[in-house]
Structure 1
Amino acid sequence: MSHLDDERIALIAMGEPAGSDADMEHLVECENCAAEVAAMSRVALVARSSVVEGDLESPPADVWSRIHGELGLTSAVAADPASDVHPPESESASAPAASAPVPAAGPATAIEADAAEAVAPRHRSRVRPRRRSSATMWILAASMALVVAIGAGVWIARTLTPSSAVIASAELAAFPDHPDAEGQARIDDDGDGRRTLTVTLDGDELVAGDYREVWLIREDGQALISLGVLDDSSGTFRVPDSVDLDEYRLVDISFEPVDGDPAHSGDSIVRGELDFA
Structure 2
Amino acid sequence: MHTSPDVLALLALGEDAATDADLEHISGCPGCRGELAALTAAAGSARRAGEATLVAPRPEVWQHISEELGLTSAGSGTPPAGPPSAVAPVPAPGRPGERRRTRVAAFVLAAALALAVGVGVGANLDRVAPGGQREVASVPLNALPSWPGSSGRAVVEEDGAGNRTLVVTVSSPEAADGPREVWMTTTTADPMIAMGYLVDGRGRFPIAPTIDLQEFRLVDVSQEPAGDDNFRHSGNSMLRGKLPV
Length-normalised TM-score, structure 1: 0.40
Higher-Rg structure is: 1
Length-normalised TM-score, structure 2: 0.45
* Greater fraction helix: 1
